[in-house]
Amino acid sequence: MIQKLIATLLLFTFTISNTFSQSPEKQFDRLLHQEYPDAATAASAPIAVDGEIIYQKSFGKASLKLNADATINSVFEIGSVTKQFTAVAIMMLAEQGKLNLDDNITTYFKDYPTHGHTITIDQILSHTSGLASFTSSDEWYNNRYNEMTQEELMTLFKKMPMLFAPGEKYHYSNTGYYLLGMLIEKVSNKSYSEFIEENIFDKAGMKNSSFMSRHKIIPNRATGHDKIKDEFVKADEMLYTHAYSAGAILSTTYDLYLWNRAIRNNTLISKESKKKAFTNYKLSNGKYANYGYGWAVDGVNGVPSIEHNGGSFGFLSNTIYLPEEDIFVVVLSNCVCSATDFVSTKMAAIALNKPYPDTPSKAAKINSDFAAKFAGTYSFDDGSTRTISFENNALYSQLGNRSKLKLFQVDKNTYQFENMFARILFKKAKNNTATILFKNRIYETIGEKVKIDSLRKQLTYTSQKKP
Protein backbone atom coordinates (compact mmCIF):
# COMPACT_ATOMS: atom_id res chain seq x y z
CA MET A 1 0.00 0.00 0.00
CA ILE A 2 2.78 2.46 0.89
CA GLN A 3 4.54 1.70 -2.43
CA LYS A 4 1.31 2.46 -4.28
CA LEU A 5 0.97 5.78 -2.47
CA ILE A 6 4.60 6.76 -3.21
CA ALA A 7 4.01 5.96 -6.89
CA THR A 8 0.89 8.10 -6.78
CA LEU A 9 2.84 10.96 -5.18
CA LEU A 10 5.45 10.82 -7.96
CA LEU A 11 2.87 10.55 -10.71
CA PHE A 12 0.77 13.41 -9.40
CA THR A 13 3.79 15.70 -8.99
CA PHE A 14 4.37 15.82 -12.74
CA THR A 15 0.79 16.25 -13.90
CA ILE A 16 -1.16 19.40 -14.70
CA SER A 17 -1.90 21.41 -11.57
CA ASN A 18 -5.59 21.34 -10.68
CA THR A 19 -7.71 19.92 -7.86
CA PHE A 20 -7.39 16.32 -8.97
CA SER A 21 -3.85 16.39 -10.41
CA GLN A 22 -2.06 18.12 -7.56
CA SER A 23 0.17 15.91 -5.43
CA PRO A 24 -1.65 14.46 -2.41
CA GLU A 25 0.51 16.62 -0.12
CA LYS A 26 -0.58 19.79 -1.92
CA GLN A 27 -4.20 18.67 -1.77
CA PHE A 28 -3.90 18.07 1.98
CA ASP A 29 -2.27 21.49 2.41
CA ARG A 30 -4.97 23.15 0.34
CA LEU A 31 -7.78 21.59 2.37
CA LEU A 32 -6.26 22.49 5.70
CA HIS A 33 -5.29 26.02 4.69
CA GLN A 34 -8.83 26.67 3.47
CA GLU A 35 -10.39 25.53 6.71
CA TYR A 36 -7.71 26.80 9.10
CA PRO A 37 -6.00 29.99 7.85
CA ASP A 38 -2.71 30.76 9.59
CA ALA A 39 -4.15 33.78 11.42
CA ALA A 40 -7.15 31.83 12.73
CA THR A 41 -7.68 28.87 15.03
CA ALA A 42 -5.69 25.68 14.75
CA ALA A 43 -5.77 22.21 13.32
CA SER A 44 -3.30 19.35 13.53
CA ALA A 45 -3.55 16.50 11.05
CA PRO A 46 -1.41 13.44 10.24
CA ILE A 47 -2.03 10.63 7.77
CA ALA A 48 -0.51 7.19 8.20
CA VAL A 49 -0.43 4.46 5.56
CA ASP A 50 0.66 0.93 6.46
CA GLY A 51 1.74 2.26 9.84
CA GLU A 52 4.03 4.95 8.39
CA ILE A 53 3.18 8.65 8.77
CA ILE A 54 3.31 10.11 5.25
CA TYR A 55 1.94 13.56 6.12
CA GLN A 56 1.90 15.50 9.39
CA LYS A 57 1.28 19.23 9.70
CA SER A 58 -0.37 21.78 11.96
CA PHE A 59 -1.92 25.09 10.97
CA GLY A 60 -3.24 28.19 12.70
CA LYS A 61 -3.08 29.31 16.31
CA ALA A 62 -3.19 27.08 19.37
CA SER A 63 -4.10 30.25 21.29
CA LEU A 64 -5.34 33.42 19.62
CA LYS A 65 -4.89 35.38 22.85
CA LEU A 66 -1.21 34.41 23.11
CA ASN A 67 -0.66 34.40 19.33
CA ALA A 68 0.83 30.91 19.75
CA ASP A 69 1.20 28.76 16.65
CA ALA A 70 -0.09 25.21 16.65
CA THR A 71 2.53 22.47 16.31
CA ILE A 72 2.43 18.70 15.94
CA ASN A 73 2.86 18.59 19.74
CA SER A 74 -0.22 20.71 20.49
CA VAL A 75 -2.59 19.05 22.96
CA PHE A 76 -6.32 19.14 22.17
CA GLU A 77 -9.45 17.97 23.92
CA ILE A 78 -10.67 15.04 21.83
CA GLY A 79 -14.25 14.94 23.14
CA SER A 80 -16.10 11.75 22.38
CA VAL A 81 -13.17 10.04 20.74
CA THR A 82 -12.66 9.25 24.46
CA LYS A 83 -15.41 6.65 24.03
CA GLN A 84 -13.00 4.44 22.08
CA PHE A 85 -10.75 4.26 25.15
CA THR A 86 -13.70 3.55 27.44
CA ALA A 87 -14.91 0.76 25.16
CA VAL A 88 -11.46 -0.83 24.98
CA ALA A 89 -11.12 -0.65 28.78
CA ILE A 90 -14.43 -2.53 29.13
CA MET A 91 -13.29 -5.17 26.64
CA MET A 92 -10.00 -5.55 28.54
CA LEU A 93 -11.92 -6.25 31.73
CA ALA A 94 -14.13 -8.72 29.87
CA GLU A 95 -11.06 -10.56 28.56
CA GLN A 96 -9.77 -10.72 32.15
CA GLY A 97 -13.03 -12.37 33.22
CA LYS A 98 -13.96 -9.46 35.51
CA LEU A 99 -17.23 -8.78 33.69
CA ASN A 100 -19.36 -10.18 30.88
CA LEU A 101 -20.66 -8.04 28.03
CA ASP A 102 -24.05 -9.74 28.41
CA ASP A 103 -24.32 -8.69 32.06
CA ASN A 104 -27.34 -6.65 33.10
CA ILE A 105 -26.49 -3.12 34.26
CA THR A 106 -28.26 -3.88 37.56
CA THR A 107 -25.54 -6.42 38.35
CA TYR A 108 -23.33 -3.42 39.09
CA PHE A 109 -25.85 -0.64 39.82
CA LYS A 110 -28.46 -2.44 41.92
CA ASP A 111 -31.14 0.24 42.04
CA TYR A 112 -30.76 1.63 38.52
CA PRO A 113 -34.27 2.00 37.00
CA THR A 114 -34.52 -0.17 33.89
CA HIS A 115 -38.33 0.05 33.71
CA GLY A 116 -38.73 -3.69 33.43
CA HIS A 117 -36.04 -4.12 30.78
CA THR A 118 -32.69 -5.85 30.77
CA ILE A 119 -29.99 -3.40 29.75
CA THR A 120 -26.74 -5.16 28.88
CA ILE A 121 -23.22 -3.79 28.77
CA ASP A 122 -22.92 -4.50 25.05
CA GLN A 123 -26.09 -2.49 24.41
CA ILE A 124 -24.57 0.44 26.28
CA LEU A 125 -21.33 0.08 24.29
CA SER A 126 -23.28 0.18 21.01
CA HIS A 127 -25.67 3.02 22.00
CA THR A 128 -28.66 0.71 21.68
CA SER A 129 -29.55 0.67 25.39
CA GLY A 130 -32.45 3.12 25.16
CA LEU A 131 -30.81 5.36 27.78
CA ALA A 132 -31.39 9.05 27.11
CA SER A 133 -28.28 11.23 26.90
CA PHE A 134 -27.98 13.44 29.98
CA THR A 135 -26.38 16.24 27.94
CA SER A 136 -29.75 16.85 26.28
CA SER A 137 -31.49 17.56 29.60
CA ASP A 138 -32.31 21.05 30.89
CA GLU A 139 -31.06 20.13 34.36
CA TRP A 140 -27.60 19.28 33.07
CA TYR A 141 -27.46 22.31 30.78
CA ASN A 142 -28.33 24.63 33.65
CA ASN A 143 -25.53 23.07 35.73
CA ARG A 144 -22.92 22.64 33.01
CA TYR A 145 -20.44 25.00 34.74
CA ASN A 146 -20.97 23.51 38.20
CA GLU A 147 -18.96 20.62 39.58
CA MET A 148 -21.19 17.56 40.05
CA THR A 149 -20.32 14.35 41.82
CA GLN A 150 -20.97 10.92 40.33
CA GLU A 151 -23.81 10.51 42.82
CA GLU A 152 -25.42 13.77 41.71
CA LEU A 153 -25.13 12.84 38.06
CA MET A 154 -26.46 9.35 38.77
CA THR A 155 -29.52 10.97 40.40
CA LEU A 156 -29.99 12.96 37.19
CA PHE A 157 -29.65 9.83 35.04
CA LYS A 158 -32.28 7.99 37.05
CA LYS A 159 -34.84 10.73 36.43
CA MET A 160 -34.58 10.40 32.65
CA PRO A 161 -37.07 8.11 30.91
CA MET A 162 -36.10 5.22 28.65
CA LEU A 163 -36.35 6.23 24.99
CA PHE A 164 -37.12 2.73 23.71
CA ALA A 165 -36.71 -0.94 24.60
CA PRO A 166 -33.01 -1.95 24.72
CA GLY A 167 -31.74 -3.29 21.40
CA GLU A 168 -34.64 -1.81 19.46
CA LYS A 169 -32.93 1.32 18.07
CA TYR A 170 -29.68 3.25 18.01
CA HIS A 171 -29.52 6.48 20.05
CA TYR A 172 -26.21 8.11 20.95
CA SER A 173 -26.01 8.31 24.74
CA ASN A 174 -23.40 10.07 26.85
CA THR A 175 -25.24 8.65 29.85
CA GLY A 176 -24.34 5.12 28.80
CA TYR A 177 -20.65 5.85 28.43
CA TYR A 178 -20.56 7.74 31.74
CA LEU A 179 -21.98 4.61 33.39
CA LEU A 180 -19.30 2.51 31.69
CA GLY A 181 -16.64 4.70 33.34
CA MET A 182 -18.22 4.09 36.74
CA LEU A 183 -18.34 0.38 35.92
CA ILE A 184 -14.61 0.37 35.12
CA GLU A 185 -13.95 1.87 38.55
CA LYS A 186 -16.17 -0.66 40.32
CA VAL A 187 -14.58 -3.67 38.64
CA SER A 188 -10.94 -2.57 38.60
CA ASN A 189 -10.82 -0.82 41.99
CA LYS A 190 -9.01 2.07 40.28
CA SER A 191 -10.18 5.49 39.21
CA TYR A 192 -11.14 5.74 35.53
CA SER A 193 -8.13 7.96 34.80
CA GLU A 194 -5.72 5.60 36.61
CA PHE A 195 -7.01 2.58 34.70
CA ILE A 196 -6.73 4.31 31.30
CA GLU A 197 -3.26 5.70 32.07
CA GLU A 198 -1.83 2.40 33.31
CA ASN A 199 -3.49 0.02 30.87
CA ILE A 200 -3.72 2.10 27.69
CA PHE A 201 -1.58 5.26 27.66
CA ASP A 202 1.48 3.55 29.13
CA LYS A 203 1.19 0.38 27.04
CA ALA A 204 0.62 2.31 23.81
CA GLY A 205 3.41 4.82 24.54
CA MET A 206 1.01 7.78 24.65
CA LYS A 207 3.21 10.16 26.67
CA ASN A 208 1.31 13.37 25.88
CA SER A 209 -2.25 12.22 26.67
CA SER A 210 -4.03 13.14 29.89
CA PHE A 211 -7.38 14.22 31.29
CA MET A 212 -9.22 17.52 31.64
CA SER A 213 -8.19 19.63 34.60
CA ARG A 214 -8.87 23.20 35.66
CA HIS A 215 -5.67 23.41 37.70
CA LYS A 216 -3.05 21.09 36.23
CA ILE A 217 -0.53 22.70 33.87
CA ILE A 218 -0.46 20.69 30.65
CA PRO A 219 2.44 21.64 28.32
CA ASN A 220 1.45 22.64 24.78
CA ARG A 221 -2.26 22.66 25.66
CA ALA A 222 -4.37 24.44 23.03
CA THR A 223 -7.11 26.89 24.01
CA GLY A 224 -10.68 26.20 22.86
CA HIS A 225 -12.52 28.80 20.82
CA ASP A 226 -16.00 29.62 19.57
CA LYS A 227 -16.92 31.85 16.66
CA ILE A 228 -19.76 34.31 17.26
CA LYS A 229 -20.84 36.66 14.48
CA ASP A 230 -17.57 36.11 12.61
CA GLU A 231 -15.46 36.88 15.69
CA PHE A 232 -13.41 34.34 17.64
CA VAL A 233 -13.88 34.16 21.40
CA LYS A 234 -12.39 31.94 24.08
CA ALA A 235 -14.72 29.00 24.71
CA ASP A 236 -16.11 28.01 28.08
CA GLU A 237 -14.34 25.14 29.82
CA MET A 238 -15.81 21.67 29.98
CA LEU A 239 -15.52 20.09 33.42
CA TYR A 240 -13.86 16.68 33.86
CA THR A 241 -16.65 15.58 36.20
CA HIS A 242 -19.15 16.09 33.37
CA ALA A 243 -17.14 14.78 30.42
CA TYR A 244 -15.49 11.88 32.30
CA SER A 245 -15.51 8.59 30.40
CA ALA A 246 -17.70 10.05 27.66
CA GLY A 247 -15.31 12.82 26.62
CA ALA A 248 -12.55 13.93 29.03
CA ILE A 249 -9.31 12.87 27.30
CA LEU A 250 -6.73 15.33 25.95
CA SER A 251 -4.28 14.10 23.33
CA THR A 252 -2.07 14.90 20.36
CA THR A 253 -2.33 13.66 16.82
CA TYR A 254 0.85 11.59 17.25
CA ASP A 255 -0.49 9.91 20.40
CA LEU A 256 -3.70 9.05 18.53
CA TYR A 257 -1.56 7.54 15.77
CA LEU A 258 0.08 5.37 18.46
CA TRP A 259 -3.40 4.48 19.73
CA ASN A 260 -4.40 3.37 16.24
CA ARG A 261 -1.31 1.19 15.90
CA ALA A 262 -1.94 -0.42 19.31
CA ILE A 263 -5.47 -1.33 18.19
CA ARG A 264 -4.30 -2.44 14.74
CA ASN A 265 -1.62 -4.70 16.23
CA ASN A 266 -3.90 -6.16 18.94
CA THR A 267 -1.58 -4.81 21.64
CA LEU A 268 -4.41 -3.92 24.02
CA ILE A 269 -7.27 -6.26 23.16
CA SER A 270 -7.56 -9.48 21.20
CA LYS A 271 -8.35 -9.77 17.52
CA GLU A 272 -11.76 -11.18 18.46
CA SER A 273 -12.61 -8.23 20.72
CA LYS A 274 -11.48 -5.79 18.03
CA LYS A 275 -13.76 -7.48 15.52
CA LYS A 276 -16.73 -6.90 17.85
CA ALA A 277 -15.76 -3.26 18.29
CA PHE A 278 -15.51 -2.77 14.52
CA THR A 279 -18.79 -4.58 13.66
CA ASN A 280 -22.06 -2.67 13.45
CA TYR A 281 -24.53 -3.79 16.10
CA LYS A 282 -27.55 -5.86 15.06
CA LEU A 283 -30.86 -4.47 16.32
CA SER A 284 -33.79 -6.56 17.49
CA ASN A 285 -35.62 -5.92 14.18
CA GLY A 286 -32.76 -7.45 12.19
CA LYS A 287 -31.39 -4.13 10.94
CA TYR A 288 -28.01 -2.75 11.89
CA ALA A 289 -26.88 0.40 13.63
CA ASN A 290 -23.81 2.04 12.11
CA TYR A 291 -21.94 1.65 15.40
CA GLY A 292 -19.95 -1.10 17.10
CA TYR A 293 -18.23 -0.64 20.46
CA GLY A 294 -16.71 2.85 20.57
CA TRP A 295 -16.36 3.12 16.80
CA ALA A 296 -18.86 4.17 14.14
CA VAL A 297 -19.03 1.85 11.13
CA ASP A 298 -19.01 3.97 8.00
CA GLY A 299 -17.26 4.43 4.66
CA VAL A 300 -15.14 6.79 2.58
CA ASN A 301 -16.09 6.85 -1.09
CA GLY A 302 -17.13 3.21 -1.01
CA VAL A 303 -14.25 1.96 1.17
CA PRO A 304 -15.25 0.67 4.66
CA SER A 305 -14.13 2.88 7.53
CA ILE A 306 -14.15 2.81 11.32
CA GLU A 307 -14.36 6.30 12.78
CA HIS A 308 -15.46 8.60 15.53
CA ASN A 309 -15.82 12.32 15.95
CA GLY A 310 -15.94 14.36 19.09
CA GLY A 311 -16.58 17.79 20.42
CA SER A 312 -16.24 19.57 23.73
CA PHE A 313 -16.49 23.25 24.55
CA GLY A 314 -14.21 24.87 21.98
CA PHE A 315 -12.81 21.72 20.35
CA LEU A 316 -13.70 19.32 17.53
CA SER A 317 -12.01 16.09 16.49
CA ASN A 318 -12.39 13.28 14.01
CA THR A 319 -10.54 10.00 13.51
CA ILE A 320 -10.94 7.77 10.47
CA TYR A 321 -9.43 4.34 9.98
CA LEU A 322 -9.67 2.27 6.79
CA PRO A 323 -8.81 -1.27 7.98
CA GLU A 324 -8.56 -2.84 4.52
CA GLU A 325 -6.09 -0.22 3.30
CA ASP A 326 -4.47 0.44 6.71
CA ILE A 327 -4.95 4.20 6.34
CA PHE A 328 -5.41 6.35 9.45
CA VAL A 329 -6.40 10.03 9.47
CA VAL A 330 -7.02 12.30 12.42
CA VAL A 331 -7.88 16.01 12.52
CA LEU A 332 -7.94 17.92 15.82
CA SER A 333 -9.15 21.53 16.01
CA ASN A 334 -9.51 24.12 18.77
CA CYS A 335 -12.67 25.78 17.46
CA VAL A 336 -16.20 24.41 17.12
CA CYS A 337 -16.48 26.46 13.92
CA SER A 338 -14.32 24.00 11.98
CA ALA A 339 -15.47 20.91 10.09
CA THR A 340 -13.05 18.21 11.20
CA ASP A 341 -15.17 15.34 9.91
CA PHE A 342 -15.49 16.97 6.48
CA VAL A 343 -11.77 17.69 6.17
CA SER A 344 -10.60 14.31 7.50
CA THR A 345 -12.96 12.43 5.19
CA LYS A 346 -11.65 14.38 2.20
CA MET A 347 -8.09 13.66 3.30
CA ALA A 348 -8.82 9.94 3.62
CA ALA A 349 -10.32 9.94 0.11
CA ILE A 350 -7.20 11.64 -1.28
CA ALA A 351 -4.99 9.05 0.43
CA LEU A 352 -7.12 6.40 -1.31
CA ASN A 353 -6.61 8.21 -4.64
CA LYS A 354 -10.42 8.51 -4.76
CA PRO A 355 -10.90 12.25 -3.99
CA TYR A 356 -14.33 13.76 -3.51
CA PRO A 357 -15.27 16.63 -5.84
CA ASP A 358 -15.44 20.11 -4.39
CA THR A 359 -18.74 21.27 -2.89
CA PRO A 360 -20.66 23.42 -5.41
CA SER A 361 -19.69 27.07 -5.02
CA LYS A 362 -23.25 28.32 -5.35
CA ALA A 363 -26.50 27.12 -3.86
CA ALA A 364 -29.14 26.21 -6.42
CA LYS A 365 -31.97 28.65 -6.86
CA ILE A 366 -35.15 27.36 -5.27
CA ASN A 367 -38.60 28.12 -6.58
CA SER A 368 -41.18 29.53 -4.18
CA ASP A 369 -43.46 26.48 -4.51
CA PHE A 370 -40.73 24.16 -3.20
CA ALA A 371 -39.98 26.58 -0.37
CA ALA A 372 -43.67 26.80 0.57
CA LYS A 373 -43.80 23.03 0.93
CA PHE A 374 -40.65 22.47 2.95
CA ALA A 375 -39.63 25.63 4.81
CA GLY A 376 -40.44 25.31 8.50
CA THR A 377 -39.27 23.80 11.78
CA TYR A 378 -38.84 20.03 12.07
CA SER A 379 -38.54 17.90 15.21
CA PHE A 380 -37.23 14.42 15.96
CA ASP A 381 -38.23 12.07 18.76
CA ASP A 382 -35.12 12.86 20.83
CA GLY A 383 -36.29 16.47 21.14
CA SER A 384 -33.88 17.97 18.62
CA THR A 385 -35.19 20.48 16.10
CA ARG A 386 -34.02 21.69 12.70
CA THR A 387 -35.29 24.78 10.87
CA ILE A 388 -35.31 24.97 7.07
CA SER A 389 -35.54 28.55 5.79
CA PHE A 390 -35.82 30.12 2.33
CA GLU A 391 -33.73 33.27 1.87
CA ASN A 392 -32.59 35.00 -1.33
CA ASN A 393 -33.73 32.04 -3.44
CA ALA A 394 -31.61 29.58 -1.43
CA LEU A 395 -32.28 27.01 1.29
CA TYR A 396 -30.62 27.08 4.68
CA SER A 397 -30.64 24.57 7.55
CA GLN A 398 -30.26 25.49 11.22
CA LEU A 399 -29.92 23.01 14.09
CA GLY A 400 -31.34 24.61 17.22
CA ASN A 401 -29.96 28.12 17.22
CA ARG A 402 -26.56 27.30 15.81
CA SER A 403 -25.31 29.06 12.69
CA LYS A 404 -27.30 28.60 9.49
CA LEU A 405 -25.75 26.34 6.87
CA LYS A 406 -26.42 26.76 3.16
CA LEU A 407 -27.79 23.77 1.26
CA PHE A 408 -26.66 22.80 -2.25
CA GLN A 409 -28.90 20.82 -4.57
CA VAL A 410 -27.44 17.49 -5.70
CA ASP A 411 -30.66 15.85 -6.93
CA LYS A 412 -34.32 16.77 -7.36
CA ASN A 413 -35.22 16.75 -3.66
CA THR A 414 -31.76 16.08 -2.19
CA TYR A 415 -29.48 18.76 -0.78
CA GLN A 416 -25.96 18.70 0.64
CA PHE A 417 -24.63 20.93 3.42
CA GLU A 418 -21.92 23.46 2.79
CA ASN A 419 -18.56 21.93 3.84
CA MET A 420 -20.24 18.70 4.95
CA PHE A 421 -21.03 15.32 3.45
CA ALA A 422 -24.40 15.08 5.20
CA ARG A 423 -27.42 15.30 2.93
CA ILE A 424 -31.11 16.05 3.45
CA LEU A 425 -33.91 14.43 1.45
CA PHE A 426 -37.21 16.36 1.39
CA LYS A 427 -40.44 14.32 1.17
CA LYS A 428 -44.16 14.83 1.50
CA ALA A 429 -45.74 12.54 4.07
CA LYS A 430 -49.05 10.72 3.60
CA ASN A 431 -50.87 13.06 5.96
CA ASN A 432 -49.75 15.99 3.78
CA THR A 433 -47.12 17.16 6.25
CA ALA A 434 -43.51 17.55 5.17
CA THR A 435 -40.68 15.31 6.35
CA ILE A 436 -36.93 15.36 5.90
CA LEU A 437 -34.58 12.40 6.07
CA PHE A 438 -31.26 13.42 7.60
CA LYS A 439 -28.46 11.11 8.83
CA ASN A 440 -30.95 8.20 8.86
CA ARG A 441 -33.31 10.19 11.12
CA ILE A 442 -36.78 11.31 10.08
CA TYR A 443 -37.87 14.75 11.20
CA GLU A 444 -41.51 15.87 10.92
CA THR A 445 -42.70 19.44 10.54
CA ILE A 446 -44.14 21.03 13.66
CA GLY A 447 -44.77 24.55 12.36
CA GLU A 448 -43.20 27.91 13.07
CA LYS A 449 -44.39 28.20 16.70
CA VAL A 450 -41.42 26.28 18.07
CA LYS A 451 -39.19 28.36 20.33
CA ILE A 452 -35.71 27.26 21.27
CA ASP A 453 -34.52 28.78 24.53
CA SER A 454 -30.85 27.94 24.33
CA LEU A 455 -28.18 26.04 22.46
CA ARG A 456 -27.22 22.83 24.22
CA LYS A 457 -23.59 22.14 23.57
CA GLN A 458 -23.21 18.40 23.24
CA LEU A 459 -20.21 16.33 24.27
CA THR A 460 -20.15 14.92 20.75
CA TYR A 461 -21.48 15.08 17.26
CA THR A 462 -22.58 11.71 15.97
CA SER A 463 -21.02 10.07 12.95
CA GLN A 464 -22.39 11.02 9.56
CA LYS A 465 -23.02 8.75 6.63
CA LYS A 466 -21.12 9.81 3.51
CA PRO A 467 -22.77 9.92 0.09
Residue 371, burial from CB neighbour count under 10 angstroms (0-12, 13-18, 19+): middle
Residue 374, burial from CB neighbour count under 10 angstroms (0-12, 13-18, 19+): buried
Tell me the per-residue pLDDT of 282-310, one tens digit each, with 9 for 90 and over: 999 998 888 999 999 988 888 999 999 99
pLDDT band for position 402 (50/70/90)? low
The CA distance from 322 to 49, in Å, is 10
Report the DSSP beta bridge partners of residue 388.
376, 397
DSSP label at residue 296: E
pLDDT for the residue numbered 30: 87
pLDDT for the residue numbered 358: 66
Q: How far is CA 242 from CA 148, 156, 245, 337, 442, in A?
A: 7, 12, 9, 22, 30
pLDDT for the residue numbered 115: 92
Average pLDDT over the chain reads: 82
Over pLDDT 70: what percentage of the chain? 81
Tell me the per-residue pLDDT of 409-459, one tens digit each, with 9 for 90 and over: 777 777 777 766 666 777 765 554 555 554 433 333 433 222 222 222 222
pLDDT for the residue numbered 390: 81
Average pLDDT over residues 323-339: 91
Statement: residue 20 has pLDDT above 90? no
Tell me the per-residue pLDDT of 48-97, one tens digit each, with 9 for 90 and over: 999 999 999 999 999 999 999 999 999 999 999 999 999 999 999 999 99
- Ordered structural domains, the chain, with CATH: 76-291 (3.40.710.10), 368-445 (2.40.128.50)
Report the DSSP beta bridge partners of residue 379.
385, 444
